Structures are given as structure tokens and as C-alpha cells.
Amino acid sequence: MTIPKRNKNSEITNQAVTLPNNILSVTVTKKQHKTTEIMEKKIIAPSELIINPDGSVFHLHLLPEQLTDRIILVGDPGRVNIVAEHFDTRTFEVNSREFHTIGGTYKGKPIMCLSHGIGPDNIDIVINELDALANINFETREVNDKHRQLSMVRIGTSGALQPELIVGTPVIAEKAIGFDGVLNYYAGRNDVADLEFEKAFCDHTGWNPLWAKPYVVDAHNELVEQIGRDDMVRGNTISAVGFYGPQGRELRLPLANPDLNSRIESFRFGDKKVTNYEMESAPLQGLSRLMGHRAMTVCSIIANRMRHDVTPNYKTAIRDLIATVLDRI
């Protein structure tokens, strides 16, 4: 690859560089009036950031110009329409696999709602591609000099792990405990994790070494203060890697650690206890912290695992929660 270079007379010359495997890091040296300025340009290879022929990002099929700074995330693609019912206007709608997006305005401000599907692996796709839309130039593949911060609130459903949490209660994942291992694949993981909480949790539960090491990350504090009020519980939420065995549900197959939920329920770290299970908040909050975005999750409790209570008729509570978050984001 050849890049332009200005010589001391401000004339452009070419400098050949060797490109590493998947990240193309180009150093440009500019000399002017006896001052040398080194500029690192990080260029993302086509194999690492796949851009569709129409200029949209690979999985989400969103264009950079469609991205808004405020984003509502939901799991169910059908729930996107419920959120968008509140919008003043709709400017676009995109469907790709489980990823359904509607963009528009709410009370005059740009906003979009995106479905991420089920599980932490989908969150890895969604957050990386949203960040790419925000902070990578899709024409040059260079990382932008100026960082763009996104504010993302996930609205979901969850199962309670404490008997006092009644069905219908909205719970904020003030801390999220990742059983999925996603964040462990990224540099800087320890810089955004609560390592003391992690150790105490693993010691108390007798963590199975065959499982991914848990990571604990905080939601963005300012966003929590903005969305959370007295009508929401501040909790500590587990993001499981599955719905059945990984959350202690036993159907036909026996569990490797059948007493895990009782150990989790009895865990205390100072005045903190684990409140609920879901499957996405930890990678959402962890990746967002590493990337410099604001993110949090609030879930409506639809089952209490300790009391064996459940309500399949949770849609009213979800609709109320959607309206509340939209007014506060």
C-alpha cells in the first residue's frame, strides 16, 4: 500500500508501508517549519469490518447516516413496533435477520429502536456495529479522529432471584455480572470490571472452572440517574449464556451444579446482592464502557425463580416501562 507524504517543501510524495494482518496501521510523518508531527491512522481491513454493497454495516444493514445518538434496545423484533408507536415521526425502517430497526423522532429529538435478538453473542455484534457506524469512516475505513458517544438503554424481561421482587417490578442492572465470557476476549477488560466483586462471587459460589470466568461491570452512572427514579429497583443482574441450564432450569437433562441458584441468592458483597437473571446486560455495559458509550439495562420482572411465580401476561408492564424510558432518555 502507498500513502501520500508531504516533504519539507510541503510537496506530496509517496511512502510505501507494510500492512499487518487485519488492522492496517499507517504512520504519516509531516514535516513543516522544522516541526515533526506523527499521526497514526488506524484503517480497518475489509475482512474485519464487512460493509454491504449498499454501504450498510454487515448484520444490522444500517447506514452511517441513519444512526442516532439515542438508542432503545429490545430483544424481540416485534417489540420495536411497540416502541415506535410512541414516535412523532418515522424516518426509516430496516429488517435484517433478528435485527429490526425503526428510526424517527420522539418529542422532536432523533431516536431509534433496534432489536438485538436473544443472547450475549448478538450483543457483541450489535454494539460493535453500532460503534463502527459512529466512529469509523465507511469510505476510507479509518477510525474517526473525533469520538461520537451513543446513549443506549435496553428494555427487557427478567427472572428475579430474590423473593421480595414481585412480578412487574422494573429492575435496573446497576451492576451486570456476565456469565457469557464475551468481555474476556477484549483488551482492557480488567480496567472496566469490578475485580473484587468478581473474586468474592466466584469464591462464594464455588465457580465451576469449566465455565467462562464471570465479569462484573457497572452501568453508566449518569444514564442510570437519568432513567432511574423511585419507581425502579437498583439491582445487580446476571447475564446468562442460555435460558435453561445456564439459568438453573432443569427439564430432561440434569444440571452440573443444581445448587448454583441457591448459592447466588445467598451471595452478599457489602450491601449488594444478585437480584435477577437475563442474557444481555453485561456485554452491553462492558463493551460500551470499553468503547466510551453510555449504556444501561432495565428489565421488567416476569417471573420469580425463588417463589416459582410467573406471569405470561407481561406486555402491559413492558408497555408502561417503554413509555417511561422514552420520556427520560
CA distances from 314 to 24, 156, 210, 299, 319 (A): 49, 11, 35, 11, 9
Segment 90-111 shows an average pLDDT of: 97
Q: Which residue has the higher pLDDT, 300 or 24?
A: 300
Q: Percent of the chain, pLDDT > 70?
A: 88
- Any alpha helices (H) in 22-103, and if so which ranges? 79-84
Segment 277-288 shows an average pLDDT of: 98
Residues 4 and 66 in one domain: no
Residues 260 and 280 in one domain: yes
Distance of alpha carbon 119 from alpha carbon 246, whole angstroms: 12
Between CA 255 and CA 263, with CA 258 as vertex, the angle to 5 degrees is 145
pLDDT at 289: 98
CATH number reported for the structural domain that contains residue 303 in this entry: 3.40.50.1580
Q: Which of 192, 235, 234, 240 has the alpha carbon at shortest distance from 216? A: 192
Distance of alpha carbon 55 from alpha carbon 224, whole angstroms: 34
pLDDT at 32: 45
Dig out the grid coordinates for 197 from the structure. 466483586
Residues 128 and 257 in one domain: yes
Residues 92 and 226 in one domain: yes
For residue 13, pLDDT over 60 is answered with no
> How many Cβ atoms from other residues are within 10 Å of residue 26's Cβ?
15
Residues 96 and 123 in one domain: yes
Helix (H) or strand (E) holding 130: helix 120-135
State the DSSP string of 204-256.
HHT--TTSPPPEEEEPPHHHHHHH--TTSEEEEEEE-S-SSGGGT--SSSPPS
Q: Total domain count for the chain?
A: 2
Range of the domain at 43: 1-48
For residue 215, pLDDT over 50 is answered with yes
For residue 11, pLDDT over 70 is answered with no
Confidence of residue 24 (pLDDT cuts 50, 70, 90): low
DSSP E strand boundaries for the chain: 2-6, 12-16, 23-32, 35-44, 70-74, 89-96, 99-106, 109-115, 151-160, 170-178, 215-218, 233-239, 276-278, 294-304, 309-310
pLDDT at 67: 98
pLDDT at 8: 40
Residues 62 and 39 in one domain: no
> How many Cβ atoms from other residues are within 10 Å of residue 172's Cβ?
23
Distance of alpha carbon 212 from alpha carbon 241, whole angstroms: 10
In the 3-class helix/strand/coil scheme, how is 288-302 assigned residue by residue? Answer: HHHHCCEEEEEEEEE
pLDDT at 38: 54
Residues 6 and 123 in one domain: no
pTM of the full predicted structure? 0.88
Q: Which residue has the higher pLDDT, 296 or 19?
A: 296
> SS3 for 174?
strand
First to last CA, the chain: 45
Residues 273 and 156 in one domain: yes
Q: 146-188: per-residue pLDDT in tens?
A: 999 999 999 999 999 999 998 899 999 999 999 999 999 999 9
Residues 209 and 186 in one domain: yes
Residues 60 and 186 in one domain: yes
For residue 85, pLDDT over 70 is answered with yes
Residues 13 and 76 in one domain: no
Dig out the grid coordinates for 202 from the structure. 466466584
> Which stretch of 12-21, 65-74, 173-182, 275-284 has the lowest confidence by average pLDDT?
12-21
> Which stretch of 9-23, 42-56, 60-74, 148-162 has the lowest confidence by average pLDDT?
9-23
Residues 68 and 5 in one domain: no
Q: Percent of the chain, pLDDT > 90?
A: 81
- Mean pLDDT score of the chain: 90
